[in-house]
Amino acid sequence: MSIINTTIKPFTAQAYHEGKFVSVSDADLKGKWSVVFFYPADFTFVCPTELGDLADVYPQFKELGVECYSVSTDTHFTHKAWHDASDTIKKINYPMIGDPTGTITRNFDVMIEEEGLALRGTFVINPEGEIKVAEIHDLGIGRDAKELLRKVQAAQYVAAHPGEVCPAKWTPGEATLSPSLDLVGKI
Query: Which residue numbers are catalytic?
Result: 47
State how far the Cα of 108 lies from the Cα of 100, in Å rounded to an integer.
15
Position 107: which residue type? N
142 within 8 A of 50, measured Cβ to Cβ = yes
CB atoms within 10 A of CB 81: 16
Residues 129-158 as b or e (16 or more Cβ within 10 Å = b): bebbbbebbebeeebebeebbbbbbbbbbb
